[in-house]
Amino acid sequence: MAGSFGAESTTDEVLKGVDLSGKRILVTGASAGLGVETARVLAAHGAQVVGAARDLDKARGATVTVRGGAANGGGLELVQLDLASLASVRACADSLNADARPFDVIIANAGVMACPKGTTADGFETQFGTNHLGHFVLINRIAGLLKGGGRLVNLASAGHRFSDVDLDDPNFEHTPYTEFGAYGRSKTANVLFAVGFDARHKNRGVRAAAVHPGVIQTELGRHLTPDLIQQIMGSTANSGQPAMVFKSIPQGAATSVWTAVVADAAAVGGRYCEDCHVADITEDPNARDGVRAYALDPARAAALWAKSEAMVGERF
């Protein structure tokens, strides 16, 4: 079953016949797009979903269908989380730890993409600070709530191929800023964080993986100008590749739920998944699929972990 899906599979197809009753799953970014769809399908199959969102009023409105479609004991509760503020991240983690109910899965779905140069509340470059450091602190602070046999799923992107992390200049203090260069760094960091987390927790049966959902038109693209769209789509005429195909939101969220509750844990642990399968390593600049070797490098993951701890002022 775990290997019978592909790029066009939807969340409902991936979870057909799967009973998640009694499972508790945290989904960040549960106020739009992939986060709402992920929460919807999980609750529809019986999971108790905790949706984290920066704007709770927006999340309440966006998740009406999640509550309405919950079945088999499934449901949704919302918690406040602004990944661009470590004070908010720590408050969210403290609240979840005080509640003390464990999680079977954490899906780190929230993020920003290709935004103008800026900083988070703590002075970090916006994309690296939000996409990586916010999740790094949240997940490590609540790692004890992940049950043995549980999973962490980090939403990364094929955009990791734009750039490796720069541990000498993570905030673009000396490097010229580009929207997709910064996005690429943050998405590579998402993959490397999964690699590092998996290495630290697999001895207790907790596995971590990164996923690429595909190219989807959601609110994530709110900052995209025509020039930036051309950059991400690439020149298909020059590459000889067929035109890039957008996925629907249910197709985009399918790899997240496949990796979280359907795929074999040992197969996806420490890996990068796309189109409901584990991706191959490739260095082909024209390839539309696959993962760069630097994003799965254990030594690189350890170095990023240490740098991230130094940046946020906490050891995990």
In a domain, 5, yes or no: no
Q: For 270-292, how does the pLDDT look when each residue is reduced to its tens digit (9 = 90+)? A: 999 999 999 999 999 888 899 99
Q: Does position 1 have pLDDT exceeding 90, yes or no?
A: no
**Residue of 116, 157, 189 whose CA lies nearest to 290:** 157
66 φ, ψ to 5°? -65, -45
Q: Which residues of 226-255 are buried (b: 16+ CB within 10 A; e: fewer)?
A: eebeebbeeeeeeeeeeeeeebebbbbbbb
Check: CB of residue 274 under 8 Å from CB of residue 258.
Answer: no
Q: Tell me what pLDDT residue 44 has.
A: 98
Q: Tell me what pLDDT residue 244 has.
A: 66
In a domain, 85, yes or no: yes
Q: Across the chain, what does the average pLDDT equal?
A: 93
Q: Tell me what pLDDT residue 278 has.
A: 98
Whole-structure pTM value: 0.92
Residue 217 CA: distances (Å) to CA of 42, 130, 221, 245: 22, 20, 7, 11
In a domain, 65, yes or no: yes
Lowest mean pLDDT among 68-77, 144-153, 224-233, 257-266: 224-233
CATH number at residue 28: 3.40.50.720
- 218: confidence class by pLDDT, cuts 50, 70, 90: low
Q: Tell me what pLDDT residue 235 has.
A: 41
Kindly give the residue spans of alpha helices, DSSP state H, lying in 3-71: 11-14, 33-44, 56-62, 64-69
What is the torsion angle, in degrees rounded to the nearest 10, for the CA atoms of residue 128, residue 118, residue 256 and residue 47? 110
In a domain, 264, yes or no: yes
Q: Tell me what pLDDT residue 219 has.
A: 52
Q: How many domains does the chain have?
A: 1
- 2: confidence class by pLDDT, cuts 50, 70, 90: low
Mean pLDDT value across residues 205-221: 84
Q: Does position 124 have pLDDT exceeding 70, yes or no?
A: yes
Distance from the Cα of residue 248 to its chain's centroid: 17
In a domain, 282, yes or no: yes
Structural domain containing residue 82: 11-312
Mean pLDDT value across residues 199-220: 89
Residue 28 CA: distances (Å) to CA of 34, 35, 88, 136, 237: 10, 7, 13, 13, 37
Residue with tokens 């490796």: 164
Q: Does position 220 have pLDDT exceeding 80, yes or no?
A: no
Looking at per-residue pLDDT, the higher value among 224 and 169 belongs to: 169
**Residue of 153, 106, 124 whose CA lies nearest to 272:** 153
Q: For 16-59, how does the pLDDT look when each residue is reduced to its tens digit (9 = 90+)? A: 999 999 999 999 999 999 999 999 999 999 999 999 999 999 99
**199 Cβ contact partners less than 8 Å away, ≥ 6 residues apart:** 270, 298, 301
294 is catalytic: no
In a domain, 1, yes or no: no
**Residue of 206, 273, 284, 200 whose CA lies nearest to 5:** 273
145 φ, ψ to 5°? -85, -15
Q: Does position 230 have pLDDT exceeding 70, yes or no?
A: no
Residue with tokens 């103008």: 116
In a domain, 6, yes or no: no
Lowest mean pLDDT among 24-38, 81-95, 185-199, 227-241: 227-241
Q: Which of 177, 183, 272, 294 is catalytic?
A: 177
Q: Is 293 exposed, middle or buried (0-12, 13-18, 19+ CB in 10 A)?
A: exposed
Mean pLDDT value across residues 64-90: 97
CA distance 9 to 55: 30
In a domain, 3, yes or no: no
List the structure tokens of 141: 């602070």
